[in-house]
Amino acid sequence: MTNWKEIDQNVRAWIKEAGSKIRDSFQTELNIKTKSNRNDLVTNMDEATERLFIEKIRTTYKDHKIMGEEGFGDELLDLDGVTWILDPIDGTMNFVHQQRNFAISIGVYEDSVGVLGYIYDVVHDELYHAHRGHGAYMNDVKLPDLNEVEVEDSVIALNAQWVTSNRRIDPKILSPLVQKVRGTRSYGSAAIEMAYIAAGRLDAYLSMRLAPWDFAAGKILIEEVGGIVTDLDGNELDPLNKSSLFVAKPRLHQTIMTDYLKR
Ligand code: 2AM
Ligand code: CA
């Protein structure tokens, strides 16, 4: 039997340790490299933080598997058993340019089902965490179930690039939605955006392409407060592969799906 309480205590201690190291790194010069393109950034802190978690997980839980964004984990073909899905710094561009609005994001899955989810807003020292079936919290404060909201009263998160010409979606699809809602926001970290959905600060969030480590933790948090987590077609997410993402309060999810996305 997996001892989830013990895993939970360990993850929280490891997250606090990693967060403190990341905050300390603001005093020293970062080593910044690019990955797939000039806007796809990675720093020595992304890599060091991933290595810190992997070393701790490997020492403590020898039979667990790890999927990490920076590639120091395992090559996974399935999510059988216990798998850690890890983004050491989600929102690296924010980390580099703004020193805020980035997060450590960790989802612990068992046989493809999310059990423990953590999003740590390092600069604000806010840990959003959830244990499937046991509620979601921001630090020690329990997050209430989400309230419904009408489209015209909603604040939604999306990146402005999805309403200009881009490779992934016809901008004509989302522009009526952007015109209808009360406001749009873009924080530049999928994990922060999902934590804000769970905390009721945002009503919906859409993204055309995210990786499992971007949404693994957020999915657990949002579902724990009654939110809906799917891809843009309304299908269940596959935590092993990249996909689009659409998360929202339940009725709002349905309305946006039928009135805006399926037209
Ligand atoms: P990252 O900072 O960990 O790379 C906004 O850029 C959000 O989308 C961030 O959460 C970022 O995660 C993620 N992201 C950016 N480019 C991506 C890509 N090509 N595939 C998947 N996720 C991406
Ligand atoms: Ca990252």
Instruction: Indicate which ligand has the atom closest to the C-alpha of 35.
Output: 1
**Full residue range of the structural domain in which residue 48 is found:** 4-142
Whether residues 177 and 228 fall in one domain:
yes
Q: What is the pTM of this model?
A: 0.97
Domains identified in the chain, total number: 2
Whether residues 163 and 254 fall in one domain:
yes
Whether residues 14 and 132 fall in one domain:
yes
Average pLDDT over the chain reads 97
Task: Report the CATH number at residue 74.
Answer: 3.30.540.10
Q: What is the pLDDT of residues 53-110, one digit of tens each?
A: 999 999 999 999 999 999 999 999 999 999 999 999 999 999 999 999 999 999 999 9
Whether residues 85 and 207 fall in one domain:
no
Does residue 263 have a pLDDT over 80?
Answer: no
Which ligand 1 atom is the nearest neighbour of the CA of 102?
Answer: 2
Domain boundary among 117, 142, 167: 142
Whether residues 138 and 164 fall in one domain:
no
What's the 90 CA to ligand 2 centre distance in angstroms? 4
Whether residues 135 and 79 fall in one domain:
yes
* CA 263 – CA 244 distance, rounded (Å): 18
Reported confidence tier of residue 1, pLDDT bands at 50, 70, 90 = confident
Domain boundary among 142, 173, 193: 142
State residue 262's pLDDT score: 87
Mutate-to-test residue for ligand 1 from 35, 210, 219, highest number of ligand atoms within 8 A of CB: 210
Does residue 229 have a pLDDT over 90?
Answer: yes
Whether residues 129 and 65 fall in one domain:
yes
DSSP for 184-203, written as a single string: EE--S-HHHHHHHHHTTS-S
Whether residues 82 and 167 fall in one domain:
no
What's the 42 CA to ligand 2 centre distance in angstroms? 7
Domain boundary among 116, 142, 168: 142
What is the greatest pairwise CA distance in the chain? Answer: 51
Instruction: Indicate which ligand has the atom closest to the C-alpha of 187.
Output: 1
First vs last Cα of the chain: how many Å apart? 47
- Helix (H) or strand (E) holding 108, with range, is strand 103-110
